[in-house]
Amino acid sequence: MEMKSSEEIEIGRDVTPTLTPLSFSLHNSNLTTHCSACFSPLSSPFPSIPTPFYYCSPSCSAALSPLHHSSAEIHLPPSAHSSHLRAALRLLCSHRPSSSLRLAGLLSNRPILTSPQTPSLSHHDDHVSEEIKLGAAAMAEAISEQRAVPNDDVVLEEATIALCAVLTNAVEVHDNEGRALGIAVFDPTFSWINHSCSPNACYRFVLSSPPSSSLSDEPELLRIAPHPKMGSGGVCVSSNEFAKEVLGYGPRLVVRSIKKIKKGEEVTVAYTDILQPKATRQWELWSKYRFVCCCKRCRALPFSYVDHALQEISAFSYDSMDSYSKFLKDMADSKLSECIDDVISEYLSVGDPESCRDKLEKILMQGLNEQLEDVKGKSDSKFMLHPLNHHSLKAYTTLASAYKVCASDLLSVDSEIDTNQLKAFDMSRTSAAYSLLLAGATHHLFNSESSLIVSVANFWIGAGESLLFLSRSSGWGTCDNLGLIVPNHTSAIKLKWSKCSLVDRIRTCVANGQINSADFENVSNEFICCVSDITQKVWGFLISDCPFLRSCKDPINFSRLMSTKSSNRMDFEVCVDKSYKTEISYTHEPENSIYICEEPTSTDDVVACLLQLGLHCLAYGGLLGSICYGSQSHVVCHVQNVLDREKNIVLYSREES
């Protein structure tokens, strides 16, 4: 089955009404911190007598407690308790599998999930099959005890189909900070929406106790309808049946358009992170859902520009006649990936930000310091990550975090010491620089693949917040040690809201709650022009203490990486060392080189530019967020509150002067 649009839908519109789940469950780690019924954080202390489940209100307790006892989950052994097993048992309370191995109209995928079929993934398949076998057996035992019936093959088959249906159709529920809380299974209105690596829709969660009235003054509409696909076996469910047999509570979901959708066009969402190369996406989709994606992006030959960039590794040699094979490049990619993943894992487990930043920047600057060998023998080629490679993007994300933690650690020791203030200030500006580089790099990819809007929204918001935090840093008071003029914050902040009207116009678009695709394109183009201009004025200041970042001329304009967007090769050559040639977009120049136009003449000017840049990044990220999640979503309200606070500071400063 597939879901198609029943009308023309503009960008940033709700495609479905607010949907409640067929079944859901918190992850084990969140059972004592969140309400089991609505997934809201618990504010009251835990009762002295421990219970398996906690609730935020009597109404939530009254809604879900009966289901806990009737679903047989209380009979699961402690070792078998998991969100998937609980959700599967709850699903069986109101639905039974059909002869077509479907449950509540949902595909169970049972034959494929329980039968390893792909030799290259056979070990992983065996593991999944074994997990299903053990989980279904535990469920069958619990069902047998609950119903007081024999634990026979019929009960086991029912449990297996329910568990497979949950594994196939469940989505992970995230809170406003992106933390995974649990899983939920929705009816065919959502579950029949297919995956694409270039989707035209996304979805957001609504986590709160259900209000007595509608969430919106506007009527909620279902703008999609089911259409059978070839090989669907004639399964068809009328759209007016979709709302039946849902629980009426739990984490809710809304599907929203991220592109303009034509009437009759299939509506798709992403089942995996699409800011990854094709091979990674394909592996994740097969390992979790057992299908090979054949969307337009995955079928493209040669690869699309975005997929080419995300997997690109540059190879160069002292010997211009030296050649390298695809085998060597793949081996280099694997080793570079392993190196970066090891560093990040160590950072997350040990918590040593200094070691993390040193190791990651060494990898980014020096590439793979290991001689590789193929059938032709050892190669003298040197392999380095392309600046848009997905490993590079992961490194930028981690480095922004590591430098931010370093700054916080320095100030926590003794914030009154000037040297600590200066070091923390330097760390903060480097963190902001990496955040800006990450946003600029992913926006460049977004220009070619607009489905990346969800990730790009988060990165622009992160960059904006980092820049605004830096502009308010107490470290400016010790900048005289850097040879700069101590800023007059009052005069600086007066400049920030008067130079450009784009921020206010973006905020108006967000407040209106709607923007059409043509206006969005115009705003995006104007935004890039603005931030490119401002960035040139402050980039040298942000990167002056980071050797790797000093090699990056422009974090916004990546157009020189290629001759055309459809090119299969990045056409540029820059000397990193006179003995080497590479395709990488970084140029190592003398340490004091600063790439700016109209260099700010005082610290006041620097602060003003940082404020302007931060406001632009934050406002645009908020606009992207409103397209993805709606103008009343948590992330958009947060952005609007920050912008309001900044504007109030400006007005107050003008009154004071």
Q: Can you give the three-state secondary structure of 533-573, one letter per residue?
A: HHHHHHHHHHHCCCHHHHCECCCCCCHHHCCCCCCCCCCCC
Under DSSP, the state recorded for 589 is -
**Structural domains present in the chain:** 1-21+186-210+218-296 (2.170.270.10), 58-182 (no CATH), 309-656 (no CATH)
Using the predicted structure, report yes or no on whether residue 565 has a pLDDT greater than 80: no
What percentage of the chain reaches a pLDDT higher than 90? 57
Reading the block at residue 583, the tokens are 């395709």
What percentage of the chain reaches a pLDDT higher than 70? 77
The burial class, CB within 10 Å (0-12 / 13-18 / 19+), for 129 is: middle
Task: Give the model's confidence band at 544: pLDDT under 50 very low, under 70 low, under 90 confident, else very high.
Answer: confident
Strand-pairing partners, residue 184, are 24, 171
Q: Beta strand 194-195 with 268-269: parallel, antiparallel or unpaired?
A: parallel
Tell me the H-state helices in 184-325.
188-191, 278-289, 296-299, 305-311
Q: What is the value of pTM for the model shown?
A: 0.86
3 state SS of 210? coil
Residue in the structure block whose two tokens are 């995928």: 109
Answer for the pair 433, 582: CB distance below 8 angstroms, yes or no.
Answer: no
Segment 49-70 mean pLDDT: 85
Segment 450-473 mean pLDDT: 96
Digit-coded pLDDT (tens) for 3-38: 999 999 999 999 999 999 999 999 999 999 999 999
pLDDT at 219: 61
Digit-coded pLDDT (tens) for 338-349: 999 999 999 999
Give the mean pLDDT of the chain. 82
Segment 294-307 mean pLDDT: 95
pLDDT at 338: 93
pLDDT at 473: 85
Q: Which string of DSSP letters, residue by residue, matches 163-178?
A: HHHHHHH-EEEE-TTS
pLDDT at 487: 40
Task: Give the model's confidence band at 587: pLDDT under 50 very low, under 70 low, under 90 confident, else very high.
Answer: very low
Segment 281-301 mean pLDDT: 93
Under DSSP, the state recorded for 576 is S
Task: Tell me the Cα Rg of the chain.
Answer: 27
Number of H helices, E strands in the chain: 20, 15
| Among candidate residues 608, 386, 344, 341, the one with its CA nearest the CA of residue 485 | 608
Considering only residues 652 and 194, tell me which one the structure prediction assigns the higher pLDDT. 194
Using the predicted structure, report yes or no on whether residue 120 has a pLDDT greater than 60: no
Answer for the pair 509, 503: CB distance below 8 angstroms, yes or no.
Answer: no
The burial class, CB within 10 Å (0-12 / 13-18 / 19+), for 235 is: middle
Cα separation of 352 and 374, whole Å? 36
Per mean pLDDT, which range of 95-99, 186-190, 556-560, 653-657 is the poorest?
A: 653-657
pLDDT at 413: 76
Task: Give the model's confidence band at 209: pLDDT under 50 very low, under 70 low, under 90 confident, else very high.
Answer: low
Q: What is the 3-state secondary structure (H, E, C) of 55-110?
A: CCCHHHHHHHHHHHHHCCHHHCCHHHCCHHHHHHHHHHHHCCCCCCCEECCEECCH
Answer for the pair 555, 440: CB distance below 8 angstroms, yes or no.
Answer: yes
Per mean pLDDT, which range of 222-226, 437-441, 485-489, 497-501 is the poorest?
A: 485-489
Residue in the structure block whose two tokens are 């992106």: 178
Q: Which string of DSSP letters, residue by residue, matches 460-512?
A: HHHHHHHHHHHHT-GGGGGGGGGT-PPP-HHHHHHHHTTS-SHHHHHHHHHHH
pLDDT at 220: 79
Task: Give the model's confidence band at 124: pLDDT under 50 very low, under 70 low, under 90 confident, else very high.
Answer: low
Per mean pLDDT, which range of 139-148, 292-301, 319-328, 613-622 is the poorest?
A: 319-328
Q: Dihedral of CA 598/599/603/608: which sign?
A: positive
